[in-house]
Structure 1
Amino acid sequence: MSSDEDFSIVVNGDTETMERIQEQIVKFKEQHSLVLQEQQDLVTGLNTVKNLENQFKLRSNKIRQALEEDDASHAIKVENETMMLASLRKEEVRLKDQIDAALEQGSQLERHNYHLRQQTAVSTAVPEKKVVFTGVTGNDAKPQSFEMKPHVLYPMDGGTALITFEDEKVAQKILEMKEHKVELGECTITLEAKPVQMLVPSVVEMDTQICPHRVLVSSLPSNLSGEALMDKLELHFGKGKNGGAEVESTDLLQDSGNVVIKFVHGHVAKGLTDQQQHDVAFGKGKKHKVKVTPFLNGKITHFQTRVSECSHTVLLAGIPAVMEQENLQDLLEIHFQKSSNGGGEVEAFLYNPLGQHSLAFFQEECPVKD
């Protein structure tokens, strides 16, 4: 057995050198141990890093998978939101169309109500017109209308005559005979009987509005002339204390005897028509109650005509100028009054000689057959 204490080797040195070598050996051993420990620590750290790496990879995979799932969910959500937005836009367009339609319908209703209010104002405040019951009754479901009296101008060619019989059957018999030989003393003429046809209105539709500047004054006294009547009305309704104002013009309607008053300002007419009845002084201390109603402005919106044939009147054509107008007219009328010639009682007769042009005026409604 041997030990370090039993032997000591000294080569070219002293004991102090050996001690340094031993110290270095010890130091190297410590360094070696430290290196081994560091190596062990490195291995442990490496393993830890690998474990962390694996954990990181697992975690990264989970996060990536979660992100992919979130992206897919987000894409689905975005698609759903896009579809919902498109649906909402369509609904918005539909609602806007409904609102526009409702507004248009409201405007139409407002216009309709305006016309109804005007019709109500007119129908409840019309000029006074005396009527009498004739004893005839019946059911009448006709819509609101205005009475129209026809004023037809019928052009007559030269060498023609219009003859109106009291009996419709006589006129029809004259037409059926067509040609008529009329003896005029030494000569005989041949006339042709033709029906009297004229173009008359069949449908007239008007769009009316109340004029804000004009009023219609009716129930006027009959003992004043036109100028005096209008002067009194202008004087009365030109004063503010009577509800009037500055008058621009007055017009007398010859067919009805009513007066149209036009004011400079548009706010006057409404107040006068709301009151309707007004006491106007037409003489000294004498007042007459007149009625003030709205004045209508209007335009024709629909107009249709039809050809009507007079059932009592016949046109005689081909009359030569063989004698003076009055004599020829008398002889023709006498001829067609005789029942032996197919005629009858004559109500009216008008002769227009050759070379002349006349207009026959039909004022009253003529019996017609369609």
Structure 2
Amino acid sequence: MSTEDFSPVNWESLGIVTLEDIQKELNKCKNQYESLEKDKKMFKDAIESNQNYAKQFQERTEEKKLSFDADKRKIAEKIQKEEEQQKSIQKEQERLRADILRIKEELDHLEKKNEHLRKQTEVSTAVPEKKVVFKGKTEQGAHALSFDVSPRIVYPMEGGTTLITFEEVGVAQKILSMKEHSVQLGECVINVQVKPVRFLVPSYIEMDTQVCPRRILVSSLPSKLPEDKLLDKLEIHFSKTRNGGGEVEEIDMLHDSGTVVVTFVDDSIAKGLTDQQDHKVDIVKNQKHKVKVTPFLNGEISQLHTRHSVCLRTVQLTDIPPIMEQDNLQDHLEIHFQKAANGGGEVESIIYNPMGHTTLAVFVEDSLEDSQSI
């Protein structure tokens, strides 16, 4: 408290002039002071009480916070467990959906297979007849269930090359071992290279077949009738509804098998014709010929394994310049490779393709085992 607080009081200005008045004023101030002290103590007690309440509130807040954090952790753990369970359930649902999808695909595959087998049973006895004869050979095991396909390979020849097939395998191999040959052509000599003929051929084939609803295969046809006339007669016969036919879209001859494929516009015609199988067709006037009608199968290769094959009796000559006419040059080459002095032997077939020309050589099944000819 500064000294200014105790400055002399001008009692006269306050209307106090006697000692008794001063004493009364002092008592009054004393009472005010005591009242202020009481208020001060009351406020102090109130502050302490509030501080106690605040402390208790803080403690209770801390307890609640700890309890809340514990509850929060428990809830988080519970949520995590539920999320893990939900993920596990989702994985199980996905696995079940995958199993259902797989089973559906298997069922679809089985249904398609059953449908395919059902169609195959319709064709089991309805195949074109082929004349066969027993040659005295027998097979055992899996070979008894197989069938042979005669190879027919179309081989592109480059210009300036020659293919020679010898009658004996040993001659061809001897020619190959020499690799290069000098050939006398009149007054000049040319050097030609000798290479083996290699193919990539099928070793194992699997095919999926299905009956074509718009085509039929006609067999047992007469052999002496011209092709165009035969096709006309067949088209007329199978286009008539009284013969069980319908509008013909296309008719083709399969020369390799001697059969005819008839394609109809409507896909409901072929089934009725193949059910009957035997049909009598007016081929010559007032003379009917019995033909056989079987389903036409569409085939698709499902598995194909190939292997490398070498022609044992055929060799290829390269680097042949066009120094004379094609026939003369081919004759000179044949004469040269027929001579034993040149390492050659009897020539079964030969073809020369001049420079700048392209041709296709056709290889068919050889009568000798494990070899082919042109």
Compute the TM-score of the two structures, normalised by the length of structure 2.
Answer: 0.66
Change (3 A) 1:100 1:190: closer
Partner of 2:152: 150
SS of the residue corresponding to residue 141 of structure 1 reads helix
Partner of 2:299: 298
**Which whole-Å deviations, capped at 9, do the CAs of 1:289-324 have from their partners, x for residues lacking one?**
111111122334444544322111111223333433
Partner of 1:218: 219
Partner of 1:362: 362
Partner of 1:175: 176
Change (3 A) 1:236 1:207: same
SS of the residue corresponding to residue 296 of structure 1 reads strand
CA distance in 1, matches of 2:116, 2:203: 24
Change (3 A) 1:179 1:126: same
Counterpart code for 1:155: M
Q: What is the deviation of 1:208?
A: 2.5
CA distance in 2, matches of 1:93, 1:334: 77
Q: Judge conservation of contact 1:156–1:360 (CA < 8 Å) in 2.
A: no
Counterpart code for 1:189: I
Partner of 1:347: 348
Q: What is the deviation of 1:98?
A: 6.5
Q: What are the equivalent positions in structure 2 for 1:229-240 lying under 5 Å apart?
A: 229-240=230-241
Name the stretch that deviates more: 99-108 or 342-351: 99-108
Q: What are the equivalent positions in structure 2 for 1:14-93 lying under 5 Å apart?
A: none
**Which whole-Å deviations, capped at 9, do the CAs of 1:215-264 have from their partners, x for residues lacking one?**
11111112222222122222222233322223222222232221111222
SS of the residue corresponding to residue 262 of structure 1 reads strand
Change (3 A) 1:89 1:135: same
Partner of 2:310: 309
Instruction: Give the ranges of 4+ consecutive aligned residues of structure 1 lying more than 6 Å apart after TM superposition.
Output: 86-99
Partner of 1:189: 190
Q: Judge conservation of contact 1:154–1:360 (CA < 8 Å) in 2.
A: yes
CA distance in 1, matches of 2:97, 2:184: 85
Partner of 2:259: 258
Q: Judge conservation of contact 2:213–2:270 (CA < 8 Å) in 1.
A: yes
SS of the residue corresponding to residue 364 of structure 2 reads coil
Q: Judge conservation of contact 1:154–1:198 (CA < 8 Å) in 2.
A: no
Change (3 A) 1:146 1:232: farther
Change (3 A) 1:100 1:194: closer
SS of the residue corresponding to residue 190 of structure 2 reads strand
Q: Judge conservation of contact 1:273–1:293 (CA < 8 Å) in 2.
A: yes
Partner of 1:110: 111
Partner of 2:244: 243
Unaligned regions of 5+ residues in structure 2, if any? 1-85
Change (3 A) 1:99 1:172: same
CA distance in 1, matches of 2:313, 2:268: 52
Partner of 1:163: 164
Q: What are the equivalent positions in structure 2 for 1:267-278 lying under 5 Å apart?
A: 267-278=268-279
Identity within the alignment, % = 56
**Which whole-Å deviations, capped at 9, do the CAs of 1:41-74 have from their partners, x for residues lacking one?**
xxxxxxxxxxxxxxxxxxxxxxxxxxxxxxxxxx
**How many residue pairs align between the two structures?**
284
SS of the residue corresponding to residue 129 of structure 1 reads coil
Partner of 1:124: 125
Change (3 A) 1:243 1:342: same
SS of the residue corresponding to residue 251 of structure 1 reads strand
Q: Judge conservation of contact 1:215–1:260 (CA < 8 Å) in 2.
A: yes
What's the RMSD between the two structures over aligned residues?
Answer: 3.2
Change (3 A) 1:173 1:240: same
CA distance in 2, matches of 1:276, 1:115: 21
Q: Judge conservation of contact 1:308–1:368 (CA < 8 Å) in 2.
A: no
Partner of 1:56: none
Compute the TM-score of the two structures, normalised by the length of structure 1.
Answer: 0.67
